[in-house]
A and B are shown apart, each in its own frame.
Chain A
Amino acid sequence: MMHKESGRPAKKQVTVTINGKKCPAEEGEILLGVAIREKIAIPHLCFEPSLDPYGACRLCMVEVVKRGRKEMTTSCTLRAAEGLEIVTDTPEIVKYRNILFELYLAEAPKSEILKAMAARYGVTKTRFLKKLEAADTLDNKCILCGLCVRACNEIMGAGAIGFVNRGPYTLVGTPYGEPTKDCFGCGACVKVCPTNAVEMEDTGDTRIMKSWNGTKVPLSKCDCCGEFFAPKGLATAALARVIPSLKEEIAVLCPACRGKRIAQEEIRALSGGAGHHG
């Protein structure tokens, strides 16, 4: 389906106002992205520019004037238009945001990142009952932002993890809480997680996805230096999309050794083949 408008013409440049500051933006650009570029702090936990807007963490609330009325809305779902004006820290927003931070502190009491983030906004304790579960594979740090699930499904197309249950019982995990064969071991989940909840570890020829119930993924060994580098399954999946001449090289060389080889070839080409291109 026409989900993302592809092949669209170059976007119009517009000016939006954030906290009184005029900022240039592309028409239709996500406001939170503009604010990040302009170094205007808006707390956020579920935003990732390469994924569709999701609007789940609710921390990026801003005030916007729409049709003459002030409205609160999430800046990660708001799109730039000429003359758009937002304010990021009204007393109302601060009031609600602080409660949201308190809810997060209760939901993921072990996340140091979250504690530091909340503290930056003046919230250091929560009045709500903390959730502490000994058996939590995500070590009581997950805030269900969904970034790992979305990266796994939408970017990698692996679908190894998903949401389980609903409402307050929701959690992120593998099917039936068992090790899963669908995981490439790409580690995108580890990378996107805003609270460092997802853990993995490489030991020898194996990558262990600790948070995904000990899912094990074999690693490829570099022909040149002998180090284990990328997960095998990932290489196979990635290779399917790559031009044939590169395939072999990627499969057998780690990025460092491949870098060396490219450099060597480049040098050889420069010295031996000057005037090659006329």
Chain B
Amino acid sequence: MKIVSAADLAAAQETGMQKIRPDRPRIAVGLATCGIAVGGNRVYERLQEIIEKEKAEIILTKTGCIGYCKEEPLVNITIPDKPLVILHKVTEADAEEIVREVSNGKVPEKLALCRVPSWDHITGCNIEYGKGFTKIPLYAKVPFFAGQKKVVLRDAGLINPEDIDEYIAVGGYAAARKALTGMDSEAIIKEVETSGLRGRGGAGFPTGQKWRITRDAPGERKIIICNADEGDPGAYMNRNEMESDPHMLIEGMIIGAFAMGADTGLIYIRAEYPLAIQRLKLALAQAREYGLLGRDIFGTGFSFDIGIATGAGAFVCGESTALVASIEGRTGRPHPRPPRLTDIGGGLWGYPTDLNNVETWCNVPVIIMNGSGWYAKIGSKGNTGTKVFSLVGKVDRVGLVEVPLGTMLKTIVSDIGNGGANGKHVKAVQTGGPSGGCIPLRMFDTPVDFENLNKAGSIMGSGGIVVMDEETDMVDIARYFITFATGESCGKCVPCREGLKHALLILNRIMAGKGTKKDIETLALLSDTIAATSLCGLGQTAPNPVLTTLAYFREEYDTRVKP
């Protein structure tokens, strides 16, 4: 079936809604990588076995991850006219009881995390699940969820990511239709510009502006790429965005392609994400079948398709110029800009190319659907919208957290994350992946946005927040990240290649108790040099863990060295 008219879309929406709210109970097991890692598949298989054996009138399906990774495996239960109930820490042993209760129109309350009487999928779809189960806490009262604002993750963990109908049911592809049939390139780019959306890949470059530059670049052909290389240790929000809601990314890319006049899109995804790759491939095939990719989309004459390119595991290939080299089959080494990707001759195969992060693309449909005015009200001035963070490390509530930009660090770590794991005191957080900085507890009133994190000596990066507690050794942390960066340096420019190596040698010496005061001075000067003179972002930011631990935890270095 091809979707062309509004009626076609409405028909698919109807089909999808019957899958989300069927006339019988539905059990959806959270099967993103995080859920599978703690036994989600076993729960799913056991449930399937029992449902078949009992011939229970229950629909069993999959969903992605709602972000509360600590509580997984999560299982959603929808019984007609009742609130959706999220069960947590479910094991195979619970399967029998779940099927029995659900068959009787009930839920196993002791497993319940919360209930969702209604859910706003924002893009024009507010699902009223129903009333009841009042003993189970409300979703909005669960501390982990209470401080969050779900925009990009509005569908994650609620719909089946392997079914395009469910995405359409909650308002999916309506933004693409609106853009392609009712707006022109200029109107779309203006909307993205005024929304204030900035790149979520780390640098925070205004997305609308990049789109405009690409569109206006000379050259007949334009290409768009989604950067899904996500190489930061401890960061996995892009993975979840693709595993839990792949169509949101695809829809964002369709709108972008139309605005920039691109006929080809590519998703550059790391090979270490097999499930995301599998779900994306499936989603692309479904979108093609519905005519949402391919020739003459929505009957507008606009043609566009998306391919997948897999990366072979080099962190530096997330950098724009190295990424393009990697797709072209050359060694993934950055080159100096200009030429930028958007320049003719600088992009993929020489065509002007727009590169955006997964989450950047995911923000596009809601901006088009609800308007830039709506979007710009979220977050703070110059830092609009939300950002998804992966809150990991020695924090109590590990998971994916979506909050408006400008939210205070302590809100994320203390209120949503509930502070240190096992009752320990939090000492610092490291934001921005391996090249971020360590921010001490006394600076936890820092608003998390591009500029304020920079001021604190760190970066936004792609959104990893690694929590450290009182037992964490900050010199060892610095050494860990410098080890990572040294191993990932491409080896092209001397400050990054040689400088990081010597920084690591010095850190090893200090850790072994053989360092001197002079070593600390050399380390500081060397780190400064690497940051100031490296060719690409990897080297320019790699010393941040050293520079910030030196600035905020100097005593930990001092007590280790000989005078």
Which residues on A are within 8 Å of B, measured CB to CB? 1-4, 53-58, 61, 72, 74, 77, 92, 95-96, 99-100, 103-104, 106-107, 127-129, 143-144, 146, 163, 165-170
- Give the interface SS of chain A, mostly helix, strand, loop or mixed: loop
The reply to whether B336 and A74 contact each other, CB–CB distance below 8 Å, is: yes
Across the interface, name the chain A residue whose C-beta is closest to B532.
Answer: A96
Which residues on B are within 8 Å of A, measured CB to CB? 219, 314, 331, 335-336, 338, 344-345, 349-351, 486-495, 497-502, 505, 522, 525-526, 528-529, 532-535
Given A166-B491, A168-B497; A103-B534 close (CB under 8 Å)? no
CB distance from B297 to the nearest CB of A (A): 28
Taken together as a complex, chains A and B put the C-alpha atoms of A195 and B533 apart, in Å, by: 21
Q: Which residues of chain A are within 8 angstroms of B490 by Cβ–Cβ distance?
A: 166-167, 170
The reply to whether B487 and A167 contact each other, CB–CB distance below 8 Å, is: yes
The reply to whether A100 and B532 contact each other, CB–CB distance below 8 Å, is: no
The reply to whether B488 and A1 contact each other, CB–CB distance below 8 Å, is: no
The reply to whether B533 and A61 contact each other, CB–CB distance below 8 Å, is: yes
The reply to whether B491 and A100 contact each other, CB–CB distance below 8 Å, is: no
The reply to whether B497 and A167 contact each other, CB–CB distance below 8 Å, is: yes
CB distance from A129 to the nearest CB of B (A): 6
CB distance from A97 to the nearest CB of B (A): 8
The reply to whether B491 and A170 contact each other, CB–CB distance below 8 Å, is: yes
The reply to whether A1 and B345 contact each other, CB–CB distance below 8 Å, is: yes
Taken together as a complex, chains A and B put the C-alpha atoms of A104 and B344 apart, in Å, by: 35
Partner of B522, one of A55, A127, A170: A127
CB distance from A71 to the nearest CB of B (A): 11
Pairs A-B, 8 closest by C-beta atoms: A1-B350, A170-B491, A55-B336, A167-B489, A168-B501, A99-B529, A77-B336, A103-B498
Q: Which residues of chain B are within 8 angstroms of A104 by Cβ–Cβ distance?
A: 494, 498
The reply to whether B489 and A166 contact each other, CB–CB distance below 8 Å, is: yes
Taken together as a complex, chains A and B put the C-alpha atoms of A167 and B335 apart, in Å, by: 15
The reply to whether B494 and A103 contact each other, CB–CB distance below 8 Å, is: yes
Q: Which residues of chain B are within 8 angstroms of A103 by Cβ–Cβ distance?
A: 494-495, 498-499, 502
CB distance from A2 to the nearest CB of B (A): 5
Taken together as a complex, chains A and B put the C-alpha atoms of A165 and B486 apart, in Å, by: 13
**Beyond known contacts A55-B493, A103-B498, A170-B492: 10 more, CB 8 A cutoff:** A1-B351, A2-B344, A55-B335, A58-B533, A143-B494, A144-B497, A165-B491, A166-B491, A168-B489, A168-B497
Across the interface, name the chain A residue whose C-beta is closest to B522.
Answer: A127
Residue with the highest number of chain A CB atoms closer than 10 Å, among B331, B351, B532? B532
The reply to whether A169 and B491 contact each other, CB–CB distance below 8 Å, is: yes
25 contacts between A and B (CB under 8 A): A4-B345, A53-B336, A54-B335, A56-B493, A77-B336, A77-B338, A99-B526, A99-B529, A100-B494, A103-B494, A103-B499, A104-B498, A107-B494, A127-B522, A128-B498, A128-B502, A129-B505, A166-B489, A166-B490, A167-B487, A167-B491, A167-B501, A168-B486, A169-B491, A170-B492
The reply to whether B498 and A107 contact each other, CB–CB distance below 8 Å, is: yes
Partner of B535, one of A1, A58, A144, A166: A58
The reply to whether B499 and A144 contact each other, CB–CB distance below 8 Å, is: no
Q: Which residues of chain B are within 8 angstroms of A99 by Cβ–Cβ distance?
A: 499, 525-526, 529
Q: Which residues of chain A are within 8 angstroms of B345 by Cβ–Cβ distance?
A: 1-4
Across the interface, name the chain B residue whose C-beta is closest to A167.
Answer: B489
Taken together as a complex, chains A and B put the C-alpha atoms of A170 and B314 apart, in Å, by: 15
The reply to whether A100 and B497 contact each other, CB–CB distance below 8 Å, is: no
CB distance from A75 to the nearest CB of B (A): 11
The reply to whether B494 and A57 contact each other, CB–CB distance below 8 Å, is: yes
The reply to whether B500 and A168 contact each other, CB–CB distance below 8 Å, is: yes
The reply to whether B350 and A2 contact each other, CB–CB distance below 8 Å, is: yes
CB distance from B75 to the nearest CB of A (A): 44
Partner of B491, one of A54, A128, A168: A168
Q: Which residues of chain A are within 8 angstroms of B526 by Cβ–Cβ distance?
A: 99
Taken together as a complex, chains A and B put the C-alpha atoms of A23 and B140 apart, in Å, by: 67
CB distance from B318 to the nearest CB of A (A): 15
Taken together as a complex, chains A and B put the C-alpha atoms of A100 and B497 apart, in Å, by: 11
Q: Which residues of chain B are within 8 angstroms of A166 by Cβ–Cβ distance?
A: 314, 489-491
Q: Which residues of chain A are within 8 angstroms of B344 by Cβ–Cβ distance?
A: 2
Q: Which residues of chain A are within 8 angstroms of B499 by Cβ–Cβ distance?
A: 99, 103
Taken together as a complex, chains A and B put the C-alpha atoms of A4 and B343 apart, in Å, by: 12
The reply to whether A58 and B534 contact each other, CB–CB distance below 8 Å, is: yes
Across the interface, name the chain A residue whose C-beta is closest to B530.
Answer: A99
The reply to whether B335 and A58 contact each other, CB–CB distance below 8 Å, is: no
Across the interface, name the chain B residue whose C-beta is closest to A97.
Answer: B533
CB distance from B236 to the nearest CB of A (A): 24
The reply to whether B336 and A54 contact each other, CB–CB distance below 8 Å, is: yes
CB distance from B355 to the nearest CB of A (A): 17
Q: Which residues of chain A are within 8 angstroms of B522 by Cβ–Cβ distance?
A: 127
Q: Which residues of chain A are within 8 angstroms of B535 by Cβ–Cβ distance?
A: 55-56, 58
Partner of B533, one of A72, A77, A170: A72
CB distance from A106 to the nearest CB of B (A): 7
Taken together as a complex, chains A and B put the C-alpha atoms of A92 and B534 apart, in Å, by: 15
CB distance from B97 to the nearest CB of A (A): 53
Taken together as a complex, chains A and B put the C-alpha atoms of A179 and B23 apart, in Å, by: 73
Q: Which residues of chain B are within 8 angstroms of A92 by Cβ–Cβ distance?
A: 532
Across the interface, name the chain A residue whose C-beta is closest to B536.
Answer: A55
CB distance from A89 to the nearest CB of B (A): 15
CB distance from B291 to the nearest CB of A (A): 32
CB distance from B473 to the nearest CB of A (A): 24
CB distance from A254 to the nearest CB of B (A): 38
Partner of A3, one of B331, B335, B350, B495: B350
Taken together as a complex, chains A and B put the C-alpha atoms of A168 and B499 apart, in Å, by: 9
Q: Which residues of chain A are within 8 angstroms of B349 by Cβ–Cβ distance?
A: 1
The reply to whether B492 and A106 contact each other, CB–CB distance below 8 Å, is: no
Q: Which residues of chain A are within 8 angstroms of B488 by Cβ–Cβ distance?
A: 167
Q: Which residues of chain B are within 8 angstroms of A170 by Cβ–Cβ distance?
A: 490-492, 497
Q: Which residues of chain A are within 8 angstroms of B494 by Cβ–Cβ distance?
A: 56-58, 100, 103-104, 107, 143-144
Taken together as a complex, chains A and B put the C-alpha atoms of A77 and B486 apart, in Å, by: 25
Across the interface, name the chain B residue whose C-beta is closest to A58.
Answer: B533
Q: Which residues of chain B are within 8 angstroms of A61 by Cβ–Cβ distance?
A: 533
Q: Which residues of chain B are within 8 angstroms of A95 by Cβ–Cβ distance?
A: 525, 529
Taken together as a complex, chains A and B put the C-alpha atoms of A99 and B502 apart, in Å, by: 12
Taken together as a complex, chains A and B put the C-alpha atoms of A129 and B494 apart, in Å, by: 15
Taken together as a complex, chains A and B put the C-alpha atoms of A163 and B497 apart, in Å, by: 13
Across the interface, name the chain A residue whose C-beta is closest to B489.
Answer: A167
Across the interface, name the chain A residue whose C-beta is closest to B485.
Answer: A167
Q: Which residues of chain A are within 8 angstroms of B314 by Cβ–Cβ distance?
A: 166
Q: Which residues of chain B are within 8 angstroms of A107 by Cβ–Cβ distance?
A: 494, 498
The reply to whether A100 and B500 contact each other, CB–CB distance below 8 Å, is: no
CB distance from B518 to the nearest CB of A (A): 8
Taken together as a complex, chains A and B put the C-alpha atoms of A144 and B493 apart, in Å, by: 8
The reply to whether B529 and A100 contact each other, CB–CB distance below 8 Å, is: yes
The reply to whether A96 and B533 contact each other, CB–CB distance below 8 Å, is: yes
Q: Which residues of chain B are within 8 angstroms of A55 by Cβ–Cβ distance?
A: 335-336, 493, 535
Taken together as a complex, chains A and B put the C-alpha atoms of A168 and B490 apart, in Å, by: 8
The reply to whether B491 and A163 contact each other, CB–CB distance below 8 Å, is: yes
CB distance from B251 to the nearest CB of A (A): 30
Q: Which residues of chain A are within 8 angstroms of B350 by Cβ–Cβ distance?
A: 1-3
Across the interface, name the chain B residue whose C-beta is closest to A129.
Answer: B505
Q: Which residues of chain B are within 8 angstroms of A72 by Cβ–Cβ distance?
A: 532-533
Q: Which residues of chain A are within 8 angstroms of B502 by Cβ–Cβ distance?
A: 103, 106, 128-129
